[in-house]
């Protein structure tokens, strides 16, 4: 693996499978009370410029279970909140810590942190990418379907960080992916080109359409996300109108395969992007997906923080 995990593109298929296999092992060991203190004496700094439930708790708990120490660093408490360049913060923290996880807005900030850091940097979320979540999604899909080969994943909703990371992650491991996204909320051109390249190289299907019914036909996995991510709160009313035809409900799910699973990275806005009925019908899978954030991130930490 590279020194850092900044985006899904940083990982080859073999590296993704390696992380998932280790995640499976660590999950088994935790369930059976087998201690795995691979990072005893190591410290992880966690910088948060965006609020969090799953990212913070899973990384904190995971680092503790690995025998290390997690250190929560709010941007309001750090000097970067008062204008210190991220490069200077990075060079200082590199002398104190064994790794840094950052959850922030701009991908460039994560990239700059990594460029000036001598320790591993893990992207806990940016506006462009959410690799830790997509790795947890892949872990869940493999648990439920026992394979990736030939599966069809359909994503319905905003062309956000989840959509962009899913394009790369799904095509890298051998799954077809179709996305239904309103025209004015499309993924960045870079990810469209990357998806076209990966699908061609791996002989897979990759399509982006505006009509959810065209995307979901015969899907094995259906994924959605909130319509207004953090930082888009001022667009809520406009987005509710623009995404009204993109709800994952019983009607749209009738077009997927009978044994299709539904994933949601949470938090969910019930009766907006997903109905109460569908969320509860697939709740076991969705909350297993949330749990898998813990296991897959522990695997990432073991691989990077040595």
Indicate the annotated binding residues for L-ornithine: 161, 225, 229-230
Token pair for 222: 């259906």
Catalytic entry in 38, 130, 239, 295: 130
Catalytic entry in 38, 128, 133, 247: 133
Catalytic entry in 38, 282, 293, 295: 293
**Is the distance from CB of 275 to CB of 249 less than 8 angstroms?**
yes
To the query of whether residue 130 is one of the catalytic residues in this protein, the response is yes
Token pair for 167: 């394009």
Nearest to 57 by CA among 105, 121, 101, 7: 101
To the query of whether residue 265 is one of the catalytic residues in this protein, the response is yes
Q: Which residues pair with 44 in a beta bridge?
A: 70, 99
- Residues belonging to the binding site are 52-55, 79, 103, 130-133, 161, 225, 229-230, 265-266, 293
Q: How far apart are CA 297 and CA 180, in angstroms?
A: 28
To the query of whether residue 91 is one of the catalytic residues in this protein, the response is no
Q: How far apart are CA 191 and CA 161, in angstroms?
A: 10
CA–CA distances in Å: residue 256 to residues 221, 223, 248: 8, 12, 11
Cis omega (within 30 of 0) on the bond before 52? no
Q: How far apart are CA 183 and CA 59, in angstroms?
A: 35
**Is the distance from CB of 233 to CB of 249 less than 8 angstroms?**
no
Catalytic entry in 128, 158, 220, 225: 225
- Residues belonging to the binding site for carbamoyl phosphate are 52-55, 79, 103, 130-133, 265-266, 293
- Whether the CA torsion 226, 232, 233, 238 is positive or negative: it is negative
To the query of whether residue 103 is one of the catalytic residues in this protein, the response is yes
Catalytic entry in 265, 282, 295, 297: 265
To the query of whether residue 142 is one of the catalytic residues in this protein, the response is no
Q: How far apart are CA 37 and CA 131, in angstroms?
A: 24
**Is the distance from CB of 268 to CB of 62 less than 8 angstroms?**
no
Phi–psi pair at 43, nearest 5 degrees? -125, 130
Catalytic entry in 38, 103, 282, 295: 103
To the query of whether residue 87 is one of the catalytic residues in this protein, the response is no
Q: How far apart are CA 148 and CA 182, in angstroms?
A: 27
**Is the distance from CB of 195 to CB of 189 less than 8 angstroms?**
no
Q: How far apart are CA 75 and CA 178, in angstroms?
A: 37
* Residues with a known catalytic role: 103, 130, 133, 225, 265, 293
């Amino acid at each position: 693996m590279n020194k850092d995990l900044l985006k899904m593109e940083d990982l080859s298929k073999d590296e993704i499978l390696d992380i998932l296999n280790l995640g499976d092992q660590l999950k088994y060991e935790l369930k059976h009370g087998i201690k795995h203190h691979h990072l005893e004496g190591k410290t992880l700094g966690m910088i948060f410029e965006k609020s969090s439930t799953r990212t913070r708790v899973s990384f904190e708990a995971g680092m503790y279970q690995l025998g290390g120490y997690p250190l929560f660093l709010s941007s309001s408490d750090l000097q970067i909140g008062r204008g210190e360049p991220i490069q200077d913060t990075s060079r200082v923290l590199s002398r104190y810590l064994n790794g840094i996880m950052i959850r922030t807005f701009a991908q460039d900030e994560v990239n700059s942190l990594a460029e000036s850091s001598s320790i591993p940097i893990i992207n806990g979320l940016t506006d462009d990418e959410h690799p830790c979540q997509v790795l947890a999604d892949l872990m869940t899909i493999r648990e439920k379907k026992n394979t990736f080969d030939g599966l069809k994943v359909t994503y319905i909703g905003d062309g956000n960080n989840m959509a962009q990371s899913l394009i790369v992650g799904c095509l890298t491991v051998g799954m077809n992916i179709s996305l239904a996204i309103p025209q004015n909320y499309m993924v960045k051109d870079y990810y469209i080109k990357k998806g076209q390249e990966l699908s061609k190289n791996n002989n897979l299907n990759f399509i982006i359409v505006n009509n959810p019914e065209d995307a979901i036909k015969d899907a094995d996995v259906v994924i959605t996300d909130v319509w207004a991510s953090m930082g888009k709160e001022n667009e809520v009313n406009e987005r509710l109108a623009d995404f009204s035809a993109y709800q994952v409900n019983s009607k749209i799910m009738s077009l997927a395969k009978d044994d299709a699973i539904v994933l949601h990275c949470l938090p969910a806005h019930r009766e907006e992007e997903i109905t109460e009925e569908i969320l509860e019908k697939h709740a076991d899978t969705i909350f297993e997906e949330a749990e898998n954030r813990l296991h897959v991130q522990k695997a990432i930490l073991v691989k990077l923080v040595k």
